[in-house]
Amino acid sequence: MQTNLDLQYGALLQPIIESAIRQQMTSMSTRLAFLLVRVAFASEQTRSLATNILGRQQGVTPSVLNEILDGSSKAAKGRITHRTPQLEDLIAEVERWFWEEDSKTHE
């Protein structure tokens, strides 16, 4: 009889747990999407402005500009996964922001 009750509770708990996980993931996904869009926009705007300004500098020919852009692209690819102490601090701050927002949502 106890096994039968355990199975019934298990069947009831699964949808509740799945719903809670889905809520949490939706909340996290929304915050991540906001952050990614904000970063992508700022990054592309900065890249466009920097390229425009650099291309207007005296002595910067189109070939020199392309060399600079290629070099900066390679450097960025090399650094994109490199974790520095400064990044660790920022990551911790963003994680705190995520959890604070989540706790406000569930109050």
pLDDT per position as a tens digit, 24-68: 888 888 888 999 999 999 999 999 999 999 999 999 999 999 999
Range(s) of the domain holding residue 63:
2-80
Q: Is residue 106 very low, low, confident or very high in pLDDT (cuts 50, 70, 90)?
A: low
Query: Which of 14-18, 25-29, 69-73, 84-88 is most confident?
Result: 69-73
pLDDT of 3 higher than 80? no
pTM for the structure as a whole? 0.62
Distance, CA of 35 to chain centre: 6
Give the C-alpha distances (Å, rounded to integers) separating 54 from 45, 47, 50, 71, 76: 14, 10, 6, 14, 17
Total of domains in the chain: 1
67 located within any domain? yes
35 located within any domain? yes
